[in-house]
Amino acid sequence: KGKYNFKVIRQTIFFPDLPDSFDGTTITQISDVHSGSFDNPEKISYAIDLINEQKSDIILFTGDIVNTHADEMHPWIDTFRKIETPALGKFSVLGNHDYGEYIEWPSQKAKDDNFKAIKDLHRQIDFKLLLNEHVKIRKGDAEIALVGVENWGVKFKQAGDLHKASEGLTNNDFKILMSHDPSHWDAEVKKYDKHFHLTLSGHTHGLQFGIEIPGVIKWSPIEYVYKQWAGLYEEMGKYIYVNRGFGFHAYPGRVGIWPEITVIELKKGEKVA
């Protein structure tokens, strides 16, 4: 129950140093697809239509395309290919489940082949997978840097390499980071010598259980494990947004924490109190 109760959550974030031509730019973020858990094609098609209806300038997917096996995604490739490619493109990163670390494989080759196939899934659904690298996104007469790292979690796989991913960038570059696990933000990103204006994460699913009434209460047991577990957080002028997840895993449902399609609007200026 609740596992397909998709919600579009809108968030506006102000940055004094956002390049003028990016003022008003919109990002749609999805995360934690976990395609191996899906059992209702109609509901997934509805969610894809919902993504397209947002008409954002760029679409970002922050990892966990499957639970473990690449072939979990095969029945859903055609559906996810229907996500329209907006003017600024579609980009993605890997999550902890994309490494096949949670089962015993018959051989190292089987595990390696699965990992290669998982990376290729992103190409098949027309997302550019960023593996510890960055791309420059141009709009008008300016550009921003979109940085994507492999999974880096305090308690999970640490394949993410922030140094390699941001090589060549300076503090004059406006930077958006995709990093699947929000624990990376506190552990490394926030204090890194290069300023990442906005980090986009997922991973927690909000535990698929909790209570949220906007402006009144926001609680889930996951907050005892992850300081940043759902929604927007800010420290020292740096922001992280944690998506509550598109799919579901382990428990086949959601209670109070609904599957999320995030739409973030970037605005130039100071935060309005």
- In what order do the strands lie in the sheet containing 58-61? 7-15, 260-268, 26-30, 58-61, 90-92, 128-129
The pLDDT value recorded for residue 219 is 83
Query: What does the pLDDT average to over 10-24?
Result: 98
CATH fit for domain 7-268, picks 3.60.21.10, 3.40.720.10, 3.40.50.20, 3.40.50.620: 3.60.21.10
Tens-digit pLDDT profile for residues 116-171:
999 999 999 999 999 999 999 999 999 999 999 999 999 888 999 999 999 999 98
Task: Pick the closest to residue 232 from 27, 57, 35 (CA basis).
Answer: 27
pLDDT over threshold 80, residue 271: no
pLDDT band at 250 (very low <50, low <70, confident <90, very high): confident
**Domains of the chain, residue spans:** 7-268
Top-confidence residue, 116 or 258:
116
The pLDDT value recorded for residue 2 is 86
The pLDDT value recorded for residue 252 is 76
The pLDDT value recorded for residue 210 is 86
Tens-digit pLDDT profile for residues 86-118:
999 999 999 999 999 999 999 999 999 999 999
The pLDDT value recorded for residue 253 is 76
pLDDT band at 273 (very low <50, low <70, confident <90, very high): low
Tens-digit pLDDT profile for residues 200-239:
999 988 788 888 777 878 888 888 888 988 899 999 899 9
Tens-digit pLDDT profile for residues 70-91:
999 999 999 999 999 999 999 9
Tens-digit pLDDT profile for residues 42-77:
999 999 999 999 999 999 999 999 999 999 999 999
The pLDDT value recorded for residue 103 is 93
How distant, in Å, are the alpha carbons of 148, 170, 264 from that of 63? 10, 26, 18
Other beta carbons within 10 Å of 181: 27
Verdict on whether the full-model pTM lies above 0.75? yes
